[in-house]
Chains A and B, each alone.
Chain A
Amino acid sequence: MAISEINLRMAAVPIREVRLGSVTGFEGSAEELLCRSRCGLKDKTRSFSQCVGCATSKAACMVTLVQDGAVISHGPVGCSSCLHEFAFTYRVNSPLRGVEKPTQRKIYSTNLDEADTVYGGGQKLEKAIQEVFDRARPNVIFILTTCASAIIGDDVESVCDESEERLGIPVVNIPCEGFRSTVWTTGFDAGYHGIARKLIKPARKRSDNVINVINFWGSDIFSEWFAAFGAKPNYITPYSTVESLTWSSEAVASVQACPTLGSYLGAALEQEFGVPEIKTAPPYGIAQTDRWFRALGAILHKEQAAEDLIAEKKTKYLPKIAALREKLQGKTAYVTAGAAHGHALLSVLRELGMKVKGAAIFHHDPIYDNGNEENDLLTQGVKDYGDVPHFNVCNKQEFELVNTLNRLRPDILLARHGGMTLWGAKLGIPSLLIGDEHFGMGYEGLVRYGEEILEAINNDEFVKNLEKHAVNPYTKWWMSQTPTAFLGGGGR
């Protein structure tokens, strides 16, 4: 798979299907998927499909939480109607990033109407940018495009450029309309592309102790870890500021909490701004945590610090992990999640001695933007723990999940992304969703996760009761088909 180089001169980031060869449909095992990823993976579509997410909300979550920014969704009012969730997130998780007084999130819609689809919405956007500037005095304004603004062909880029000149602050065009990509994580790339183009500036100097952590808004575990190396994290892009983003170019290195998320920004920071990326998959599972700390040590030229930290942590946590393994041995699990985080959960489960019956992973990137296979958690996981059967790329299609869970009946369902645990619970399967992406990282993460899993399996009274009364809209016919019956069909 040839990786196209980052090109910050283009207004829009190339979509993942084109850039990385990403797919949303696959049926087989993890090993087969990896094998095909190396020699040309073809996407499979479905002749039945349910509502999925789109790029615009994914771009939004990376820019709405920039502390001193404002966001304008250029579209009808509906295209930003879930963004209030990020306003909530920002408030609630602000203590994790030391933000003492979280300010109100500045979220706007240009509120396009029918006339705008006829006459164009460019003028409206221009006025909106001025109005938002006057009202919120942000240090940056991000413009999210939508299906409507894209199809009517508004020249958002020009409006942004003109406004930027007039206002003297960056006005960032983020082309992220939903129909452009069937892989909604393209939205992360779109957000990062805009940030890399318009906010990040060439380094004035190179820091020797600041490490970019490309992440969502999980708990702050990196401060403690990095301290052992005399370094500290620069969390991007949620809770960053224009200032901290601008000079993220000066960091000594970048790490990704989740390669599905950070692939593009990590590569852009390295290729365009010279910030080396730690090309090792995030620390999930013992072997991978060893590798990750060593890679960190290597990049910081503090190899011994890495060995000391590994030894110290292992002394503390390995006995606890062993004890949990004993309790969890032989328990079965099923995973449904976005790509890299799903892979992470598979490693956590298997490290804890559990048997994974299968996985429904939303999409698959055959390779990441840095072109390095070691960044891929699935590759590492299969190396460390063996193959995963029933590894499906499911595009978050609930009907496939319900059918599969009904067949496989694992002892626990691990999910990430809302809505999916419901189906485990309705089938009486203990279901666990842990929102914090950093929860399972490192040796201590295995302990934390193991304890949560045990608790979820033990406390199954709720799901057992729900099972008795659950409503199921799926037909008997469907429940008796193979879960991938509609895969491979489809007019696309």
Chain B
Amino acid sequence: MSGIIEQERYTCAIGALQSVVAIPKAVPILHSGPGCGDMISGFFERSTGYAGGSTSPCTNFSEREVVFGGIERLREIIENTYKVLDTDLQVILTGCTAGIVGDDVDALAEEFREKGKPIVSVETAGFKCNNFEAHSLVVNAVIDQYVWQYEDENPIRSEKNTVNLLASLPYQDPFWKGNLREYKRLLAGLGLRAHVLFGPESGGVAEWQRIPRANFNILVSPWHGKPIAEHLSMIYGQPYTHFSHIPIGANETERFLRQTLVFAIRQGAQINEAAAESFIKREREAYYEEIDNLATFLLEFRYGLPNHVHILHDAGYVTGLVKFLLHEVGIVPKEQFIVDNTPAELWRQIETELKSVSNKRRISVTFEPDAGKAQNIIRGLSHNGRGLIIGSGWDKELAKEKGYDFLSAAVPTPYRLVMTTNYVGFSGGLRVIEDIYDTVLSTYQ
């Protein structure tokens, strides 16, 4: 039985409507109570995109639909969506009301598809799962109900150097846009063309249609998104290489690129290894030029810099940031908190991963979606030196209470604006450094 959650760091299944918003010119159509869309836009903030937020059509269930069913209401809304909004793809997402009432939304979507409409339905009643999991439901639904129609023009695994990238969750990862752009650039440096599927770096629905062409897939995530990789492997026989955390900074980015390189070659991609190696070398050298230049500051700044950190984030960021901060910045990770409701069967693996970060210390990690509880643990901790908390807007108050520095790097956060910043890659590492020391230096007035 799931327990209570104080201070939510993720939302419910219907939150995956943001994955639809992230596909250029796609529109989510909510078959849900009023307020569901509002809750989601309130959670993510500044997340309207092309046709999200107050633009998204919604049946806004009333008592009448709860009693008599809402399928006719939905039919009407869909028909008129085509008249009012100019969109390339429509994805119906159901809320708790439709889920409990039991409207046959799939059959209705099928009706519209038979009329040639690019429409998809997916069950996302809030009580089913959270938005991390529902993201995979949405993507798989689009593949099964939309992408397959274009298989004839897009032969399976026909492009040796093309990959589908399954990484940042749109909006749940506040840096998703920048991260996807950086992944794409890095993979291009290896000679691979990546379908990033979401955001301005994707080619919209046309890119989705080409999903089958990819030779293999890359999954960068501790656990979420895995059902997509598995699904693509099953239907298109595309194997995938799995990198279990976010590559931030030089060490992990290199590791990610080499893992991908080896896998690509094994899959028969046409890779110019020398060119790929020289790309990595250039990136690394540019990175260390900065670190080299910064080291004096990190080592000598006499007025105080944080020496230890607690992170409250999802598993991918906690692991990625821990590795990066310890080895490449010199901030020691103390107790860490994974607040994304990571399935229990993966805890051991993540703990092991964190153990391998350094043989000199044991980094303790707590898996706790009830972030209020996690905060209470931090309240009871004390370490020497100046502390840093990296988390969501909720944690700003905690940091203030403890007199720690605070970096807002997770949703929800009213305290930070992110547009196209990336934390992934060599450049992402540098940006994390900038962000941390910006907040630290701004305390000196």
Are B58 and A84 touching (Cβ within 8 A)? no
Q: Which of B287-303 contact A (CB under 8 A)?
A: none
Given A54-B34, A54-B35, A475:B62 Cβ within 8 A = no
- Please pick, from B35, B56, B125, the residue contacting A56 in the complex, using a CB distance under 8 A: B35
Q: Does A106 contact B (CB under 8 A)?
A: yes
Are B7 and A84 touching (Cβ within 8 A)? yes
Are B6 and A135 touching (Cβ within 8 A)? yes
Are B12 and A52 touching (Cβ within 8 A)? no
Q: Does B145 contact A (CB under 8 A)?
A: no
Q: Does A152 contact B (CB under 8 A)?
A: yes
Are A398 and B55 touching (Cβ within 8 A)? yes
Q: Does B174 contact A (CB under 8 A)?
A: no
Cβ–Cβ < 8 Å partners of A82 in chain B: 38-43
Given A48-B81, A79-B126, A80-B8, A473:B96 Cβ within 8 A = no
Chain A contact surface mostly: mixed
Closest A residue to B124 using CB positions = A78
Q: Does B85 contact A (CB under 8 A)?
A: yes
Are B66 and A109 touching (Cβ within 8 A)? no
Are B58 and A475 touching (Cβ within 8 A)? no
Are B393 and A84 touching (Cβ within 8 A)? yes
Are A84 and B38 touching (Cβ within 8 A)? no
Q: Does A223 contact B (CB under 8 A)?
A: no
Q: Does A271 contact B (CB under 8 A)?
A: no
The stretch of B45-53, B276-284, B425-433 in contact with A is: B45-53
Q: Does A107 contact B (CB under 8 A)?
A: yes
Interface digits, B42-74 against A, CB 8 Å rule (1 contact, 0 not)? 110100101101111111111111100000110
Q: Which of A80-96 contact B (CB under 8 A)?
A: 80-85, 87-88, 91
Given A179-B33, A182-B34, A490-B76, A81:B54 Cβ within 8 A = no
Are A53 and B34 touching (Cβ within 8 A)? yes
Q: Tell me the bound Cα distance from A471 to B51 in angstroms.
A: 10
- Please pick, from A109, A152, A477, the residue contacting B4 in the complex, using a CB distance under 8 A: A109
The stretch of A143-151, A208-216, A367-375 in contact with B is: A143-151
- Please pick, from A109, A115, A132, A182, the residue contacting B1 in the complex, using a CB distance under 8 A: A115
Taking the closest CB of chain B, its distance from the CB of A164, in whole angstroms, is: 18
Q: Which of B380-416 contact A (CB under 8 A)?
A: 393-394, 397-398, 412, 414-415
- Please pick, from B40, B48, B84, the residue contacting A81 in the complex, using a CB distance under 8 A: B40
Interface digits, B97-110 against A, CB 8 Å rule (1 contact, 0 not)? 10011000000000
Given A111-B4, A147-B61, A473-B27, A76:B127 Cβ within 8 A = yes
Q: Does B266 contact A (CB under 8 A)?
A: no
Q: Does A57 contact B (CB under 8 A)?
A: yes
Given A78-B11, A116-B127, A180-B63, A108:B35 Cβ within 8 A = no
Cβ–Cβ < 8 Å partners of B101 in chain A: 151
Are A51 and B58 touching (Cβ within 8 A)? yes
- With A52-B34, A81-B40, A84-B393 given, can you name 16 additional A-B contacts, CB distance below 8 Å? A47-B80, A52-B35, A76-B126, A77-B126, A80-B39, A82-B40, A108-B5, A108-B6, A113-B2, A148-B100, A148-B126, A179-B34, A473-B50, A478-B84, A478-B85, A491-B72
Q: Would you give 30 A-B contacts (Cβ < 8 Å), ordered by A?
A: A48-B57, A48-B80, A49-B57, A51-B41, A51-B54, A57-B42, A78-B36, A78-B39, A79-B35, A82-B41, A83-B42, A107-B6, A109-B8, A111-B3, A111-B4, A111-B369, A113-B2, A116-B1, A117-B96, A124-B1, A135-B6, A147-B95, A148-B96, A148-B127, A177-B33, A178-B36, A180-B63, A396-B54, A475-B84, A475-B86
